[in-house]
Structure 1
Amino acid sequence: MPEDAPKILVRHQDAEAFVGALLEATGVSRRNAGIVARALVQADLRGVESHGINRIPSYLARIQNGVLDPKAEPQLTSVTPVVAQVNGNNGFGFPAAHCAMEAAISMAQTFGIGMVTVKHSNHFGMSAWIVRQAIDAGMMSLVFTNSSPALPVWGGKSRLMGVSPIACGAPGGENSIPFILDMAPSVAARGKIHKALRRGEKIPLDWALDKHGRPIDDPEEALKGLMLPIGGPKGSALAIMMDVFSGVLSGSAFAGGVAGPYDMSKPGDVGHFIVAIKPDLFMSLDEFRQRMDVLYQRVVGSDKMEGVDRIYFPGEIEQLTEEKRLEEGIPFVQAEVDALNAEAERLGVAKIRQIVS
């Protein structure tokens, strides 16, 4: 299916209600279903379709195969006044991460900083939604996770490290947007290859290697091979860092032991590392926001390279995409809608509602 295939538009409210109904039909509590649905729809709104509601069929398949517990509830344990741990109990990663950030924010509001590790969790989608949870509470944040093996360590040729996103954020000022960084240590997130496969599209040749170590534009062959790290040894080291902070520290799987959302053989045992920080620890909040305004204006107002029309702050393109999709709807291709509706039919849930032009 070509990239310019006709798109089907869905309102974000309808997408959220649809996902919530699917999850509740599998035994997920209403509260947890809402957390998952909002996070997935946020990804679609921000243009990160690789981590949007099209992840649902793989999540439901993991429930069917008994490797993800839809009824699990995260358990929070305090370690010190500023440190806690969440046991995800092999449930969805979304409520576990939400619980962790909620606890980190609460500790930071009292003590200036809060740190929470999460163990025995699963995939939590786009990291930026957790960063936004902190920003909505007026907090800076760090959000790390590890993931299933897809990337070689530098100099190696076997999959060992995950394409584990590094995310962080800070509130903006009156004349700037929040700073939101959410990036993988690979040239592209693995979810983008799954999206290309789903849509029948090719991928750029610098994203991955096939199982023989050759550059490949076929997403199916790329998923059997290796993702390529950004910056060579630098991307490899960042992936190892995610394993140290998220897996080793938390007591979850690490060093290639994590199971991904498309693996039906065993529980994910994913680990997360979440920190919330009060931005006014060293100055007034007004001064912090003014300084963020200065940073934003200097970044976007920088002298431009030849051929560049506009410089964007990290997270700004996604914010502009969200504003557009909130108004116009979220675009999907027919194959994606068909896959979602097949799950609805199986579970006895109403099909996804489309915008009729």
Structure 2
Amino acid sequence: WACPAGSHAPMVLDIANTGVARGKIYLAKQKGQPIPEGWAINAAGASTTDPAEAIEGIILPMAQHKGYAIALMMDMLSGVLTGSGFGAEIAGPYQAERRSRAGHLIIVLNIEAMLPLVEFNARMDELISQIKSVPLAQGFSEVFYPGEIEARSDVNNRRDGLDLPEDTLADLKNVAREYGLQRRLPF
């Protein structure tokens, strides 16, 4: 979900409906580290801290039954409604041997059909001002709105390039070597 945010970078919500992104579980597996209790259940339905078991099992939904319901409705909108894959028909980005079949649903709203854009932008500025003016939790220096951290990172990434972890760089080098492209790598 995304919208203009007045004088700020757009407000963007891009999340997994699970308690944790699947990529974090693959990263833990790659590093040989356990995952926290409560992230996943194994194929038998038992809680697990083993990332390999989690990958073969189920990544638990955010907010328990509420997250499950949101995820199910999103599957209906982007899978069933669009004629794409849904449920077990979907392959994730870490399952290269299968076609994804993931669907997408895009709904575009004309803000000006409901409210003049200038007024919408002013209201968004006020909303963000309210968000940022709440008392801070201990140990925190700022409240962020969805997409703000990524927008700040994008500015740095465009200026400095992506800062990739060493294991990701190693994986990219291996793939490049496999296809005879290692001389083309900038790193």
Unaligned runs of 5+ in 1: 1-167
3-state secondary structure, aligned to 2:112: coil
- What's the TM-score, normalizing by structure 1? 0.48
Shift in CA distance, 264/291, structure 1 to aligned 2, threshold 3 Å:
closer
Match of 1:236 in 2: 68
Q: Could you tell me which of 240, 245, 251 is aligned with 2:77?
A: 245
1:131 corresponding residue in structure 2: none
Does residue 320 (structure 1) correspond to residue 177 (structure 2)? The answer is no
- Aligned-pair Cα RMSD in Å: 2.2
Which residue is equivalent to 2:50? 218
CA distance in 1 between partners of 2:66 and 2:96 (Å): 31
1:353 alignment counterpart: 186
* Structure 1 match to 2:109: 277
Q: Percent identity, please.
A: 34
SS at match of 2:170: helix
> Is 2:4 the counterpart of 1:171?
yes
- How far apart, CA to CA, are the structure 2 residues paired with 1:277 and 1:267? 31
Q: 2:24 aligned with 1:192, yes or no?
A: yes
Specify the alignment match of 2:15 in structure 1: 183
1:192-235 deviation digits (Å, cap 9, x = unpaired) = 21233234444322211233444433322221222111121111
CA distance in 2, matches of 1:279, 1:224: 43
Paired residue secondary structure (1:177) = strand
1:204 aligned partner: 36
**Counterparts of 1:341 and 1:265, CA distance in 2:** 21
1:309 to 2:137 alignment: no
How many residues in Structure 1 have an aligned counterpart in Structure 2? 186
Q: Distance in 2 between matches of 1:272 and 1:285?
A: 27
How far 1:292 sits from its partner (Å)? 0.8
- Give how far 1:290 is off: 0.9
CA contact (8 A) 1:211 1:224 kept: yes
Please say if residues 198 and 336 of structure 1, whose CA atoms lie closer than 8 Å, have aligned partners that are also in contact: no
Deviation, 1:313, is 0.9
Change (3 A) 1:324 1:203: farther
Task: Give the whole-Å Cα distance in 2 for the aligned partners of 1:334 and 1:305.
Answer: 33
Amino acid at match of 2:62: I
Q: Distance in 1 between matches of 2:137 and 2:176?
A: 49
Whole-angstrom CA distance in 2 between matches of 1:353 and 1:256: 38
SS state at 1:178 partner: strand
